[in-house]
Amino acid sequence: MARYTMKFGGTSVGSPEAIAQVVEIVKDFLAEGHELAVVVSAMAGVTDMLLESAAAAAARDRARYLAISDELRRMHTKVIEGLIDSDADRAAIDAEMEELLRSHVELCEAVYILGEVTPRISDALVSFGERLSSRVIAAVMQARALPARQLDSEAFIVTDNQFGDAEPLWGETEARVAGSLRQELDSGLTPIITGFIGATPDGTITTLGRGGSDYSAAIIAAYLDCDELIIWTDVDGVMTTDPRLDKRARVLPYVSYQEIGELAFYGAKVLHPKTVQPIINRGIPLRVRNTFNPKHSGTLVGARTQASATVIKAVTGIRDVSMLTVSGRGMLGVPGIAGRTFLASAKAGANILMISQSSSEQSFCFTVVDPLAQAVKTAVETELQREIQHNNVDSVDVLSDIVIITVVGSGMRGTPGVAGRVFSLLGENRINVLAIAQGSSECSISFIIAEADLERAVGKLHSLALETVENDRINGVGSPY
């Protein structure tokens, strides 16, 4: 018998057929005698719809948010009607759903009157997605005699008040997960928990960032001291690249925590970038599996590194980023300019994705997401006002329509020539590289190219990753566990 936390993503709970599949998976694990905590996302598309309802309310478009409310009702009713037979059971969950839909519309009405959505209200509004899905899924399971019990995660994921991207307060969260949530499991119940949502110590709802249900599940897996965390999604595992970018993408049987950390940070949407943080120190293995193909063993993620002879295992690309360059001959030898620039960027709310400086010290560049680029430019110019006046800094330039490409593979450490291979390949294909950075973990290299070159670059580099997978298969390099 083992204890698992498993998380089902938006597509995995996105239709009656998908939820029926989820129920089968849970049933099979329970039948084998395992203990489960189940974390669920909102049905696919619902979080976006809720955000749209908030924007519509702020723009005083009542018809739009009412239409969204109707669509939410239709989606969840379809699941209830498709999967719950008894009239009484249906009526009970229907009433719960109506209550939530009513609260959602009430909140939209408040935004309508105010004419604006604060981040705090936005979090309260988007939380309805997981609150609805978890209740409907738990009701379906109960109707099939599974010992499921819906739980709202704000009762035990305690966070700071960084709305939209909240961080757990670890001590309090640990106490509650290891305490009251653990008791649910001990009493033989299978909790069906809202992903994505937390609350401040005074009970105000927060969210953990888009795609944050993976992170919720990892936090819960860590403090329930689970034997494994399983992320059930809509692909067979972590792949050599996003299958939407290149159809040749193949599943990687094993990657290390570090490798998945780099992949997720640099755009592999399959996992939220923070997912491995809570489980890494406890060494809890993570498995990424396909809800729609449960026979496939998926990708195992663990602590050991498994270097492949040909090193490069995966390629990612991030769109919608801009590169800022700070340059000036007078910067040479003036200490602190980079530090102040990054601090100013952070104050403007920007997360810096990549930094690169040439040894001449006459310029350095860094990359932020598009919507923040102008705000960061202004913040940095204000911070460096004196240096600009004294001509020590010439300018802060923004370059858009670029992408960050990252190649990942733990064997980069100590394998000479990996960067050489990558950049010769780009050169041979006349793809111009604008900036380069190597991850400090030495298992990734990132670089910037024009957006127009994205698909070609990923295609070429992906061939290297495919070669690695194939060599590993022939050489029998599998999981180190």
Quick one: which of 10, 253, 285, 439 contacts ligand ADP (CB under 6 A)? 10
Give 246-286 as a 3 state SS string: CCCCCECCEEEHHHHHHHHHCCCCCCCCCCCHHHHCCCCCE
The residue among 211 and 278 lying less far from Mg ion, judged by its C-beta, is 211
Q: What's the token pair of residue 337?
A: 């300019």
Site string for ligand ASP, 119-148 (x = CB under 6 A): ----------x-------------------
Q: For the CA atoms of 112, 118, 121, 123, what is the dihedral angle to 10 degrees?
A: 130
Other beta carbons within 10 angstroms of residue 244's beta carbon come to 9
> What, of ligand ASP, ligand ADP, Mg ion, none, does residue 243 touch, CB below 5 to 8 Å by kind?
ligand ADP
SS3 content of the chain, % helix, strand, coil (to 5): 45, 20, 35
Distance, in Å, from the CA atom of 331 to the CA atom of 338, rounded to the nearest integer, reads: 10
| Residue 42 contacts ligand ADP per CB under 6 A | no
Q: How many CA atoms lie within 13 A of 406 on its CB side?
A: 27
Residue 12 Cβ, how far from Mg ion at the closest point, in Å? 10
> What, of ligand ADP, Mg ion, ligand ASP, none, does residue 212 touch, CB below 5 to 8 Å by kind?
ligand ASP
Residue list 146-165, contact with Mg ion (CB under 5 A): none
Residue list 207-266, contact with Mg ion (CB under 5 A): 211
Distance, in Å, from the CA atom of 16 to the CA atom of 21, rounded to the nearest integer, reads: 9
| Residue 210 contacts ligand ADP per CB under 6 A | no
Nearest residue to Mg ion, scored by beta-carbon proximity? 211
Q: What's the token pair of residue 194?
A: 């809202």
Apex 89 CA angle, 88 and 92, nearest 5: 85
CA R_g for the chain = 24
Residue 475 Cβ, how far from ligand ADP at the closest point, in Å? 22
| Residue 239 contacts ligand ADP per CB under 6 A | yes
Site string for ligand ASP, 193-232 (x = CB under 6 A): --xx-------------xxxx-------------------
Give 78-120 as a 3 state SS string: HHHHHHCCCHHHHHHHHHHHHHHHHHHHHHHHHHHHHCCCCHH
Residue 154 Cβ, how far from ligand ASP at the closest point, in Å? 14
Nearest residue to ligand ADP, scored by beta-carbon proximity? 9
Using CB under 6 A, list all residues that contact ligand ADP: 9-12, 41, 211, 233-235, 238-239, 241-244, 263, 268-270, 314
Using CB under 6 A, list all residues that contact ligand ASP: 9-10, 41-42, 47, 129, 195-196, 210-213
Using CB under 5 A, list all residues that contact Mg ion: 9, 211
